[in-house]
Amino acid sequence: MRYGRMRKHGLEFSMKIVFAVCACMSIVAISLIAIFLLAGGLPAIHEIGIVEFFLGQRWAPGDRYPAVPDFGVLPMIVGSIYITLGALVIGVPIGLFTAIYLAYMCPRRIYVFIKPVINLLAGIPSVVYGFFGMVVLVPIIRPFAREITGGGTGESILAASILLGIMILPVVIGISESAIRAVPESYLEGALALGASKTRSVFCVIVPAAKSGILAAVVLGVGRAVGETMAVNMVAGNQARMPTHLLRGARSLTANIVMEMPYAYGLHRDALTASGVVLLLFILIINMLFVFFVRKGR
Amino acid sequence: MLRLLLLLAGGCVLFFVVKQLYTYLPEPVLRRLVRFWDKFFLSLTWLFAAVTVLALGFIIFHILSSGIPHLSPRLFAVNVTLGDVSMFPAIVSTVLMVVIVLAISVPLGMFTAVFLVEYMRTGSWFVTLIRSAAEILAGIPSIVYGLFGMMFFRVFLGLGFSILSGSLTMSIMMLPLIIRTTEEALKSVPDTYREGSFALGAGKLRTVFRIILPNAMPGIFAGVILAIGRVVGESAALIFTAGTILQIPSSLFDSARTLTVHMWRLSSYGQYVNETYATAVVLLLVVLSLNAVSGIIAKRFTKT
C-alpha cells in the first residue's frame, strides 16, 4: 500500500515535470530562432555596414572582380512596404465593409452560408493564390502596363497588392466582425432612439466604438501581407531595384530570400539571413501593435 | 508611386475638412446630404460584400473549372523520373510529413496546454510568458521558419535536405495552433467533471487522462485537422528544409517535395499550366475539405 502510493506520487510528479518541459519548448523554439537568425545576420550587417545595408539602394550580390558586390536592402524594404500598403488599400475597405455587412445587414439565411465559406478561404494555400494571380491577374494588367509605362509583363506591385488584398480578407473580416459584434446592442438602440437611420447608427456609432478591434484586424492583416512569400514571389516581378511605378515590378524582402537562398553562399547568404532579421523585426513591431490594440479594446 | 500615396492622403484630409463644414449648412441641404451618405454607405456595404464573395468564389471556380478537365492518370503515375509532372511521389511525401509533424507537435502542444490549464493558475507569469511566446511563434512568417530550419536542422544538426528537417520545422510552426485549440478545448470542460473525479479519489494525472482529455477530444481533434490543412498548404518553410526533389522518400533522411512545393515547381516551368491547374484542384480539395471537417467538428462540439 505504501509502496503503491509512493509510486503513484512519483508518476504524478514526473508527469508534471514532463508537462512543464513540453510547455517550455515554445520558449526554447523562440530563443533558438532568435539566436540562429541573429548569429547569422548581425555579423553580416556589421561587415556590410549598417548604413550601407539598410539605406543602400543597390542589391548586386553577384558582382565580384572588378566590381564590388553591394548588399543594400532598401529596395526590398520599400518594395515590401509598397506592396503591403497596396494590399491594405484594397483589402481593408472591402474587408471592413463586408464585416459590417455580415454583422448588421446580412439576413440569417445568407449569413450561415457566407460565413463558413469566408473562413474556409483562409485555408487556401498561398501557392494556389499565387498561381491564380499568375494566370489571371497578370495577363489582365499586362496591356495596361504596356500602355502606361511602355513595357513590363504585368508582373507588378499592383498585381501583388490585389492578390494580397484578397488574401488578407478572411483575417480582416473575421477579427473586425467580432469587434463590431462586441459593441453593446444598447449603443445601436441609443442611436436609433435619437432618430438616426440604421445605416447612420452603424457607421457613426458602432464602427467608431469598435475602432481598436478594427485596428487590430488591420495590423494582423499587415502581418500577413508582410510575411507572405510565395504568392508575392509569383506575381510581383521581383526586380531588385527601387520600385518605380505601380505597374512595374518590385521585390519584397520575403521574395528576395526565397529566390536567392538556394544558390547563395558566404556573405551573400548571411546578408539574406540579415534580411530575415529585418523581416522578423517588422513582425515583432506589428505583433506588439496588435497586442496594444487588443488590450486597448478591452 | 509616391504621388499616388500623396493623392490618397490628400483625399482623406479633404474628406475631414468637408465634414467639419457640415455644421454650417442650412437644414434642408444637410438633411438631403445625410440621406445621400446613408444611401452611399449602404450601397458600398452591399457592393464590397458582393466583391468579397465574388472574388473568393471566382478563385475557387476558376481553379476547379480549369483544372478538373486536365486530371489525367498521367498525373498519378507511380513511376517517375526527375522533372516529371506526376504528383504521386509528392502525395506520399506529404502524407509522411503530416504524420511526423503530428507525432511531434500534437503531444508537445497538448501537454503544454494541459500544463497551462490544469497545473498553473490562470494569470500566473509563467502562463503569460508561454502564451506570449506562442503568440509570437504564430506571427512569424513561414519564410523565417524556413531560414531557421535551414540553419538549425539542416546545417547545425546535420540533417541535410530531408523530410525530417522539414517536419521538425513544421512542427514548431504548428505548436501555437495546437496549444491554442487544446487550451480552448480544456477550458470548455466543466469544472464539475474535475471535482467529481477528485471526489472519487482519482489523482490529478488520472483526472487529466481519463476525464479531461477524453471530454476535450473533439476540440483538440478540430485543431489537429486544421494543422493538417496548414502542413499540406505550406511551401515557403519547406523549400530550404525538405528540398524540392520529386521522389518517393525511402527514409526520413531523403529529400522530397510535398504537394504544394510540387505545384510551385510546376507553375514555375511555364509549359505545364494545365498540369498545374490539375494539381491545384487536388490541393484545393484536400485543404478545403480538411478545413470544412475541422469547422464542422468544432461547431458540433461547442453546441453540446
What tens digit of pLDDT does each residue of A201-249 get?
Answer: 898 899 999 988 899 899 989 998 999 999 999 998 888 888 888 888 8
Q: Do the Cβ atoms of B115 and A19 come within 8 Å?
A: yes
Domains of chain B: 2-69 (no CATH), 75-303 (1.10.3720.10)
Report the pLDDT value the prediction gives residue A5, as an integer from 0 to 100.
54
Band (A65; pLDDT cuts 50, 70, 90): low
Report the pLDDT value the prediction gives residue A129, as an integer from 0 to 100.
93
Q: Give CB contacts under 8 A, 24+ apart, made by A205-210.
A: A206/A104, A206/A180, A207/A100, A207/A180, A209/A183, A210/A176, A210/A179, A210/A180, A210/A182, A210/A183
- The CA distance from A181 to B304, in Å, is 23
Band (A11; pLDDT cuts 50, 70, 90): confident
Report the pLDDT value the prediction gives residue B302, as an integer from 0 to 100.
65
Report the pLDDT value the prediction gives residue A265, as an integer from 0 to 100.
83
Whether residue A298 has pLDDT greater than 70: no
Q: Which residue has the higher pLDDT, A20 or B81?
A: A20
Report the pLDDT value the prediction gives residue A1, as an integer from 0 to 100.
41
**What proportion of chain A, given as a percentage, has pLDDT over 70?**
95
Q: What is the ipTM of this complex?
A: 0.89
Q: What pTM was computed for the model?
A: 0.89
Number of A–B residue contacts, CB under 8 Å: 241
Which residue(s) pair with A237 in the sheet? A250
Q: Which residues of chain B have pLDDT under 50?
A: none
Q: Average pLDDT, stretch A59-85?
A: 84
Q: B 136-165 residues with CB below 8 A of A?
A: 136-137, 139-148, 150-152, 156
**What proportion of chain A, given as a percentage, has pLDDT over 90?**
44
- The CA distance from B113 to B189, in Å, is 13
Q: A 118-137 residues with CB below 8 A of B?
A: 118-132, 134-136
- The CA distance from A20 to A7, in Å, is 20
First to last CA, chain B: 54
A51 Cα to chain B: minimum distance (Å): 23
Q: Average pLDDT, stretch A174-186?
A: 91
A208 touches chain B (CB under 8 A): no
Whether residue A22 has pLDDT greater than 60: yes
- The CA distance from B176 to A29, in Å, is 11
Whether residue A71 has pLDDT greater than 80: yes
Q: Which of A18-27, A54-63, B17-26 has the highest mean pLDDT?
A: A18-27
Question: H-helix or E-strand containing A70?
Answer: strand A70-71
A285 touches chain B (CB under 8 A): no
**Residues of chain B neighbouring A120 (CB-CB closer than 8 A):** 288, 291-292, 295
Q: Which residue in the set B4, B151, B226 is minimally distant from A36, CB to CB?
A: B151
